Amino acid sequence: NLGKGKFTAYTCDFNAEYISINADYRS
């Protein structure tokens, strides 16, 4: 359970960073 929660948090952080990079690239 703890490992799964950590993985989910990592995925959320990765998605947020990916969206940020895409937004910068488009502008």
b/e 7-27 (16+ beta carbons within 10 angstroms → b): eeeeeeeeeeeeeeeeeeeee
The string of pLDDT tens digits covering residues 1-27 is 666 766 666 666 677 777 777 777 766
- Owner of token pair 């969206």: 19
Question: pLDDT at position 23, please?
Answer: 76
So what's the pLDDT on residue 20?
77
| Distances, alpha carbon 27 to alpha carbons 10, 14, 16, 18, in Å | 26, 20, 17, 15
Note down the domain range covering 24.
1-27
Tally the domains of the chain.
1
